[in-house]
Amino acid sequence: MSNNSQLSARQRIDALLDESSFVEVGAYVTARSTDFNLSDKETPADGVITGYGVIDTNLVFVYSQDASVMNGSIGEMHAKKIANIYDMAVKMGAPVIGLIDCAGLRLQESVDALNGFASIYAKQVMASGVIPQITAVFGSCGGGAAVIPGLSDFTYMTKEEAKLFVNAPNVLDGNHVSKLDTASAEYQSANSGNVDGVFETETEVLGQIRQLVSVLPANNETDLSYSDCEDDLNRVVNVEGYVSDAKSLLITISDNQAFIETKKDYAKDMVTGFVRFNGTTVGCVANQGTEGGDVLSVKGAYKAAEFVSFCDAFEIPVLTVTNVKGYKATVEEEAGMAKAVAAMTAAFAGATVPKVNLITGEAFGSAYTAMNSKGIGADIEYAWPKAKISMMDPEAAVKIMYADEIAAADDKNALIAEKKKVFAEEQASAMTAAKRGIVDDIIVPDATRKRLVAAFEMLYTKCEEKPAKKHGSK
């Protein structure tokens, strides 16, 4: 166990699963290698406890690395145990949860350990899109081991003890851990896009995983994640003031006001996470105006794209809340913007799950079209009455369209105001879009929950076939 860890490998499993539900698999496996006097060392369970159990009656498979055994390093048999758990999980159609506390590659086993890394990677790739994969980092997760959470769907870390890195901070040119700890949970959560949440204690992490499992389908074919809804489906919601605060909006309209956010510290301008409507899990993507989300960023677009791809793989309906006026305009952003937005667009357009878009504020230009607009495949598009839908901001449009008239006008501001009012009414209103069939209905904010619940209920039996292909190239 890591020096500062609170729980042992076994205790972590017991805290994660329902009481007395864990069944160990491979308890008697030990290291097979005899090189470097390895046979003289005791390696109980070869440093990883593997097996299965239940979380709120949902079957899950779990492995928990034991840092007290060769620092939790991955060797040949250690890797085989994890690979075996993956094989069982795919057959049973149940999630895999990895509790990581690992020093990386077991040096005494060299190429056998390397091949073990590769076998775990291969099992993860084969399981991707078939069963959910969740990892929690409680101690060290470095070198090749860092690829494991990278291949998982969701990753959580403890704030102080957990370290996630490919290269240790001290080996990075010009860096030192005292200057910038690139392995820290704080850094990884904010910069890598690989961490969904950071918590103070291991118990909090395990509790979050339990909550996440309760809303996720067990696999890509069988959804056992429904729950009875005790919340009023027609509940009036006071959300008109949340045009720029999509997170508060999602919390308010969800069943029992519950929202599980993913990658909460990464690309805060784009909010992703899960809500329930009438007991059904719905994935949400939203522009967070309070965090600069009224414009699309590179990280925000990639964050949305990855989340939508997960939802589509597991038949989870998608809701978007749109309030965007364009793209983030910096030199750094420009280098990757087109590629990132293309990835997001491809994810939305390619998804065959039920898709609903709600426009709460501004919806300008191609940034709006990329946010799950009707044009790229949203099944239903709603707008609040004060929403603005246009190619660009009315004032900016007027200044371009009437440049000559404005230049010659005695009172330029008055002319701009006059033209802006006309443009806003005729070309930039929710009603204008509704008359063209781009918006399906204009709904009052108070009725948002009721109308979204009804929309997803209607879309429950959606079946859409895409052109036959192995996969897209983007």
d(C-alpha 130, C-alpha 218), whole Å:
9
Number of C-beta neighbours around residue 25 at 10 A: 16
Convert 351-390 to b/e letters by CB count within 10 Å (16 or more is b): bebbbbbbbbbbbbbebbbbbbbbebbbbbbbbbeebbbb
Tell me the helices (H) and strands (E) count for the chain, helix number first: 15, 18
Would you place residue 2 in the very low, low, confident or very high pLDDT band (cuts 50, 70, 90)?
very low
Would you place residue 58 in the very low, low, confident or very high pLDDT band (cuts 50, 70, 90)?
very high
- Per-residue pLDDT at 108: 72
- Per-residue pLDDT at 289: 94
pTM reported for the whole predicted model: 0.92
d(C-alpha 110, C-alpha 461), whole Å:
52
- Per-residue pLDDT at 1: 42
- Per-residue pLDDT at 3: 43
CA nearest to 323, candidates 272, 358, 275, 283: 358
SS3 category, 428: coil
Four-CA torsion 384, 388, 390, 393, nearest 10 degrees: -160
The DSSP output letter for 438 is S
Nearby residues of 369 by Cβ (< 8 Å), 6 or more positions away: 345, 375, 376
CA nearest to 119, candidates 75, 57, 174, 184: 75
Domains and CATH numbers, the chain: 9-215 (3.90.226.10), 240-387+429-461 (3.90.226.10)
Is the Cβ–Cβ distance between 285 and 270 less than 8 Å? yes
- Give the whole-number percent of the chain exceeding pLDDT 70: 92
Mean pLDDT lowest among 7-16, 86-95, 411-420 = 411-420
Own/partner contacts of 162-167, CB < 8 Å, gap of 24 or more, are 162/137, 162/138, 163/137, 163/139, 164/137, 164/188, 164/192, 164/194, 164/195, 165/141, 166/142
Would you place residue 472 in the very low, low, confident or very high pLDDT band (cuts 50, 70, 90)?
confident
Q: What is the mean pLDDT of the chain?
A: 90
pLDDT in tens, 360-376: 999 999 999 999 999 99
Nearby residues of 429 by Cβ (< 8 Å), 6 or more positions away: 387, 388, 389
Pairing of strands 380-383, 355-364: parallel
Nearby residues of 329 by Cβ (< 8 Å), 6 or more positions away: 295
Is the Cβ–Cβ distance between 300 and 347 less than 8 Å? no
Mean pLDDT lowest among 81-90, 212-221, 422-431 = 422-431
